[in-house]
Amino acid sequence: MQLSHHTNQNNLRFRKWFDLSIFNLCVIAALGTVLRSKMVFAMPFINYNHLLDAHSHFSLGGWGTLVIMVILVCELLPETLNKKPVYQWLLGGIFSGAWFMLLTFLIWGYSSISSISTICFIFLNYVWCGVFMRDFLNTKTESSVKLLTISSIVCLILSTSGPIGIAYIYFSKTFDAFLYRNVLFTYLHFLYNGFFTLALLAVLFQVIGQNISVKAAKNIRWFSIAVSASLIPSLFITFLWQDPNGWMRFIAILGFLLLLYCFYRFLITTASLRSVYKEETPGARFLILISLGSFALKLLLQSFTVFPVIGNAIFGNRPVIMGFLHMVFLGFVTLFVVGYFQRRGLLHSDRKLVNIAIHVFAIAVIINELLLLTQGLANMLITGSMVFAWLLWIAGVGLLSGSVLLLLGRIQSRK
């Protein structure tokens, strides 16, 4: 695919951040593999809780947040704005802050110093949001892309209430299980369903914006409005676990209806974009199919938790919750980003190693999700089995292998 001069210049300017993001992905996969190794091998020298906290914080900060920030600056801001040195400094601070969180949680777990590292990371997020929004609002951007982007930044800011709330619970030493769980769900909702999702949808529609019909543009506009409007009401679905009062249930039902409407608009929108999909390379189509399929499944699973019998079964089943989070983080976000890398020439599709890397990683993601879902269902019906621990460990090795191959493919593409 022939890339514009603007795109090539941006790729060169932000190349190191794309490279470092993929390196961080390898670190995350390595940490995940060690976590699963802890479940099947005797490793008393590793503190599982510290490693789990480090893995989760670094995954969200060192890969998801960092790489999406880089893509937003690179893709949505013109060269006159994204070449400002402030973005290089801010991305460097966010990268360093993510590593600071990784090390402090790895060594001390939840502690004063790890909480301080989280607050510092949040402060850098605020600064980035302010600088980016100032520049983005001065650009001429299609209305759907602008709505999704602004909504995503608002969600990123709202999501920071989660770590701040958890830090408050830690420092106050008054552990409230209800407060902790609600704060955690709020954080994950606005980060996963808000910032990650809306930002990537904005990038998607920005990239394909010049190659779509008037009908497709109209469908995108309605879908963008629906998915943005669903964020606040759908949050209340995650609060139903505590048997809330009537008005909270009413808002949750409204969120459920909006999510179903989002799913309907999504199907119509994707159908109107078939011509764009057919123009992509086979590798890109493979990633798009899995990524957008994961997003559609996310909408359905998220919406139907409004029913108590389903919601209670899911919120009380750790493998199912982990499967949902991994489906969004790996199936939708990560595979979307890998597809973006390939489309923008950061992973050359004519390289054999790149194609092997993409397929190994994507297949490992699919196997990982199927295993987590199967384990969750098995836990509902029968006693858990060590077979799942071993199979998940193998899937973790597959994810690690795929991420390392992606890094090698990126190095090869640079040459």
Q: Encode pLDDT of 247-275 as tens digits.
A: 888 999 999 999 999 999 999 999 888 87
What gap in Å lies between CA 315 and CA 310, rounded to an integer? 9
pLDDT for residue 283? 77
pLDDT(388) > 50: yes
**Segment 213-220 mean pLDDT:** 88
Whether 328 and 397 have beta carbons less than 8 Å apart is answered as: no
Q: What is the mean pLDDT of residues 224-239?
A: 93
Q: Whole-model pTM?
A: 0.92
pLDDT tens-digit readout, 26-81: 999 999 999 999 888 878 888 999 999 999 999 999 999 999 999 999 999 998 89
CA distance 393 to 40: 8
**C-alpha distance from residue 128 to each of 2, 50, 86, 158, 174 (Å):** 31, 28, 9, 14, 32
**What tokens appear for 257 in the block?**
């209806």
Exposed, middle or buried, 375 (CB in 10 Å: 0-12/13-18/19+)? buried
Indicate if the pLDDT at residue 4 is higher than 60. Answer: no
At 266, which amino acid appears?
Answer: F
Furthest-apart CA pair in the chain: how many Å? 61
pLDDT digits (tens, 9 = 90+) for 353-380: 888 999 999 999 999 988 887 877 666 5
Residues 284, 339 contacting (CB under 8 angstroms): yes
Cβ-Cβ contacts under 8 Å for 305 (sequence gap 6 or more): 237, 238, 240, 311, 314, 315
- Residue 1's pLDDT is 36
Residues 318-322, mean pLDDT to the nearest whole number = 76
Q: Note the pLDDT of residue 219.
A: 92
Environment class of 176 (CB within 10 Å of its CB; exposed 0-12, middle 13-18, buried 19+)? exposed
Q: Kindly report, residue by residue over 71-118, the tens digit of the pLDDT.
A: 999 999 998 899 899 999 999 999 999 999 999 999 998 888 998 999
